Structure 1
Amino acid sequence: MLHSEFYLFEEEKPLRCTVRNYQENDFQELIAIQSECFPPPFPDELWWNVEQLSSHLIHFPEGAICVEVNGELAGSLTCLRISYDPAHPHHTWEEITDNGYISTHDENGNALYVVDISIRPKFRKLGLGKLLMQNAYYVVIELGLDRLLGGGRMPGYKKYAENLSPEEYLKHALSGKLKDPVITFLLRCARTPVTILPHYLEDEESLNHAVLMEWKNPFK
């Protein structure tokens, strides 16, 4: 199981940081983090619930990762293994994750799939999202998988939808003409776009679109 302790810096102040696998006694804080990260109009029924979090620990505890800062739970990343065929990339979040319960986890799958990543707003300047993503890459390497995948929301898209298709919006993000809070973050984490996923998730800000983005195992 994962457990790593080190220090991060907020300006000149060192902060003790721990990356580990989350456990049952973390559930209420994990749900609270979701409520802070995805306020309305994001539907609250899409926040984690205790049954989903319990299912994560049953099906793939190695993919249930969290980070603490000075003893306070600051964020989490959840993933599962899937069998991925690059010739058929399209899917929805609900079908690939069993609506967040990850009973679709395939212990023989060739790819790691990110179900969710959430960082408490007050900790976002510390680079914890990128840190959690790096730990997910370590899981890919340790298990000898081909790649990491995940659908990235496009929360900035609604403002541009009258003038840009989702594909055009992505091209603008890739060229630096605009910054999307999620897509640009994933690019900074070394993820690369594969395709647009329409009807990926009920998400008003993204008009239900997402970008499938991958990180390929450099040792494969």
Structure 2
Amino acid sequence: MYNKKLFVFDGSRNIPVVIRNYKENDFSDLLRVQQESFPPPFPPELWWNKEQIYNHVTLFPEGALCIEVDGKIAGSMTGLLIDFDPKHPEHTWEEITDNGYIRNHEPDGNTLYVVDISVSPSYRKLGLGKWLMFSMYDVVIHKGLERLLGGGRMPGYHKKANEMKSEQYLDFVIKGELYDPVITFLLRCGRTPLRVVKNYLEDEESCNFATLMEWKNPFI
């Protein structure tokens, strides 16, 4: 099972953190992080429930990671394995993740698919999300998978939707001419865009669009 200890920095202050697999008894903390990370207008019904967390830790525990700061869970990241065909990339979050229940997890899949990543806002200046992402890259390498893949929300797009198409918005973000809280973060984590997917998730801020982004295993 995964267990990583490292330091993050708040200015010149070193802060020890632990990244580990979360367990069913972490439910209340994981729910708190979800609620803090995804306030309205994000749909509350998309927050985790106990059955989903139980499936995460029983069907694919290697893909259930959390990060602790001073013993308190400050963020989490969840994935499942799928058999991805780049020639047929269209999908929705609900169908690819079984609506977060991951009962469609494929133990022999070639791709680790990101179900969710969240960090409580009060901890975001510490770079915890990037460390969670890097840790999931470790899982990709350890299991000899082809890639990490996931759909990135585009929460800044609703501000520009009347001016440009979603693909144009993505191009501006890639060039650094626009900032998107999620897509820019994923780019900084080493993820590369494959394409924009429409009707990916019911998400008012993203106008239901998402950018499918991958990280390829450099050893394959």
TM class by smaller structure: over 0.9
CA distance in 2, matches of 1:11, 1:139: 29
For the pair 1:213 / 2:213, whether they are aligned, the reply is yes
CA distance in 2, matches of 1:210, 1:130: 19
Which AA in structure 1 matches 2:128? Answer: L
CA distance in 1, matches of 2:9, 2:174: 30
**1:157-215 deviation per Cα after TM superposition (whole angstroms, max 9, x unaligned):** 00000011000000110111100000000000000000111000010000110000000
Which AA in structure 2 matches 1:177? Answer: E
SS of match in other structure, 1:185: helix
SS of match in other structure, 1:201: coil
Deviation at 1:16, TM superposition (A): 1.6
RMSD: 0.7
TM-score by length of 2: 0.99
How many residues are paired up?
220
Partner of 1:169: 169
* Identity rate, percent: 60
Which AA in structure 1 matches 2:152? Answer: G
Partner of 1:106: 106
Which AA in structure 2 matches 1:165? Answer: K
CA distance in 2, matches of 1:145, 1:23: 24
Partner of 2:73: 73
Deviation at 1:83, TM superposition (A): 0.1
Partner of 1:180: 180
List structure 1 segments (4+ residues) > 4 angstroms apart after TM superposition.
none
CA distance in 2, matches of 1:138, 1:203: 30
Which AA in structure 1 matches 2:15? Answer: L
Q: Kindly indicate whether the alpha-carbon contact (under 8 Å) linking 2:198 and 2:209 is maintained by their aligned counterparts in 1.
A: yes
CA distance in 1, matches of 2:4, 2:216: 24
CA distance in 2, matches of 1:215, 1:5: 23
Instruction: Mark the runs of 5 or more structure 2 residues left unpaired by the alignment.
Output: none
Partner of 1:128: 128
Partner of 1:156: 156
For the pair 1:95 / 2:95, whether they are aligned, the reply is yes
Partner of 2:143: 143
CA distance in 1, matches of 2:4, 2:146: 24
CA distance in 1, matches of 2:169, 2:6: 38
CA distance in 2, matches of 1:58, 1:72: 23
TM-score by length of 1: 0.99
Map 1:16-95; keep pairs closer than 5 Å.
Answer: 16-95=16-95
Q: Kindly indicate whether the alpha-carbon contact (under 8 Å) linking 2:8 and 2:127 is maintained by their aligned counterparts in 1.
A: no
**1:34-92 deviation per Cα after TM superposition (whole angstroms, max 9, x unaligned):** 11111111110000111110111121000000000111111000000000001001100
